[in-house]
């Protein structure tokens, strides 16, 4: 039986939503899958089968290559969680303080590691760089303005954090203006948001989460039929993003996320399984850390293929060892940085900036 329901408090009140956690895991694994295909090429794209990538069927290349669109799943999740998070915090300073605690520790640790080790190993833009260029790229990437300044991006996946921060700032300002002065005062920010959607269409996926957060609309299709319906919508969304236009992916994306948020749907139950719950828990570290883990494996593969080692063997080893090492390092990053360092920073700084306040239940 297919049910459409309105549950304004289903996950929009700060309560933990297991299926959203599982979807985070799928999104991170999706991007990882794309890099299993892209990184073996060694940055060469104008010849067939570059680097140590073996000759693959075209349909398989197409399937693997869509994995990078896992970022749209992350955007839907942020669009769903951030509005409720802002309301629960009750103030912009506390909201942004917790956003900084959520986003920056892992990013900054990797940022410092990259700018320390990168010049030593001659990584990409560090080759022949002078001190002025080094400082410019370091600072621009630290504040996520590298694209605006036309400078190289340092961390391979951190480009999406620019969109995340822009969304946080835009929504916070728009929400505040709506509360203070109503629609007339917020109209310029709303128009700015529409302009951003037209210029950067993938940002429209934030709107899916916002819509479902505001309306509580859900689609509950139980059992295997619900799982198949969710997979079909996911395939349709990915295909639309690759073959057509991001806006065409909004409809299957909306249906997909509405099924994810319905706790009794077959899709939500599949996403709530323990393995996906764990991957979802470490998904932020996994998303940022795995390019660092895969890079030395990429270098080794490119050197070994030059000595005639079989490409299928190299690619298979790259995937197996890359997946295992990425999960292990991400688990360590989660425990040491996202949990322990974040807790330490929270304890040291929050009391200085704010008066004691009840701990917010769930970070987005």
Q: How many angstroms separate the CA atoms of 3 and 102, rounded?
A: 35
Confidence (pLDDT) at 43: 76
pLDDT of the residue at 125: 86
Backbone phi and psi for residue 278, each to the nearest 5 degrees, phi listed first:
-70, -45
Tell whether pTM > 0.75.
yes
CA dist., res. 208 & res. 199, Å (int) = 17
Q: What is the pLDDT of residue 44?
A: 74
Partnered with residue 219 across adjacent β-strands are 4
3-state SS class at 220: strand
- Predicted pLDDT of residue 14: 58
CB 41 within 8 A of CB 54: no
Residues 141 and 149: their CA atoms lie apart, in Å, by: 10
Task: List C-alpha distances in Å: 125 to 46, 114, 120, 155.
Answer: 21, 11, 12, 12
| Residues 272 and 233 sit within 8 Å (Cβ to Cβ) | no
As a whole number of angstroms, the distance between CA 47 and CA 101 comes to: 43
Separation of alpha carbons 10 and 15, rounded Å: 8
Alpha carbon 291 to chain centroid, angstroms: 14
| pLDDT of res. 9 | 38
Give dist(CA 105, CA 48) in Å, integer. 40
- At 69 the pLDDT is 86
In order along its 364 residues, the chain shows pLDDT tens digits of 454 544 433 455 557 899 999 999 999 999 999 999 999 998 777 677 788 999 888 777 777 777 788 899 999 999 999 999 998 888 899 999 999 999 999 999 999 999 999 999 888 888 888 999 999 999 999 999 999 899 999 998 999 999 999 999 999 999 888 888 788 888 899 999 999 999 999 999 999 999 999 998 999 999 999 999 999 999 999 999 988 899 999 999 999 999 999 999 999 999 999 999 999 999 999 999 999 999 999 999 999 999 999 999 999 999 999 999 999 999 999 999 999 999 999 999 988 888 654 544 444 5
Buried b (16+ CB within 10 A) or exposed e, 15-32: eebbbbbbbbbbbbbbbb
């Amino acid at each position: 039986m297919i049910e459409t329901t309105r549950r304004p408090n289903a996950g929009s009140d700060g309560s933990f939503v297991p299926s959203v956690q599982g979807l985070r895991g799928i999104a991170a694994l999706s991007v990882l899958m794309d890099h299993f295909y892209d990184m073996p090429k060694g940055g060469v794209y104008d010849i067939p089968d570059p680097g140590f990538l073996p000759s693959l069927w075209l349909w398989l290349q197409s399937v693997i290559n869509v994995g990078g669109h896992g970022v749209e799943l992350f955007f839907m999740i942020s669009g769903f969680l951030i509005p409720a998070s802002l309301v629960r915090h009750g103030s912009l300073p506390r909201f942004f303080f917790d956003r900084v605690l959520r986003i920056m520790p892992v990013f900054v640790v990797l940022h410092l590691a990259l700018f320390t080790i990168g010049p030593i190993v001659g990584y990409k833009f560090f080759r022949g760089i002078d001190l002025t260029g080094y400082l410019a790229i370091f600072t621009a990437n630290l504040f996520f303005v590298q694209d605006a300044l036309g400078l190289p991006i340092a961390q391979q996946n951190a480009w999406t954090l620019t969109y995340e921060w822009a969304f946080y700032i835009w929504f916070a300002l728009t929400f505040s203006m709506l509360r203070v002065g109503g629609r007339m005062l917020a109209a310029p920010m709303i128009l700015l948001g529409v302009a951003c959607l037209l210029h950067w269409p993938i940002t429209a996926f934030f709107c899916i989460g916002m819509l479902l957060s505001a309306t509580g609309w859900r689609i509950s299709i139980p059992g295997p039929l619900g799982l198949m319906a969710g997979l079909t919508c996911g395939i349709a969304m990915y295909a639309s993003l690759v073959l057509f236009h991001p806006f065409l992916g909004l409809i299957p994306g909306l249906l997909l996320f509405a099924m994810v948020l319905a706790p009794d749907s077959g899709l939500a139950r599949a996403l709530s399984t323990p393995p996906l719950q764990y991957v979802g828990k470490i998904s932020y570290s996994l998303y940022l850390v795995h390019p660092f883990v895969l890079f030395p494996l990429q270098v080794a593969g490119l050197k070994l293929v030059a000595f005639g080692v079989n490409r299928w063997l190299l690619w298979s080893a790259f995937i197996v060892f890359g997946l295992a090492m990425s999960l292990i390092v991400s688990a360590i990053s989660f425990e040491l940085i996202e949990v322990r360092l974040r807790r330490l920073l929270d304890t040291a700084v929050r009391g200085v900036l704010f008066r004691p306040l009840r701990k917010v239940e769930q970070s987005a």
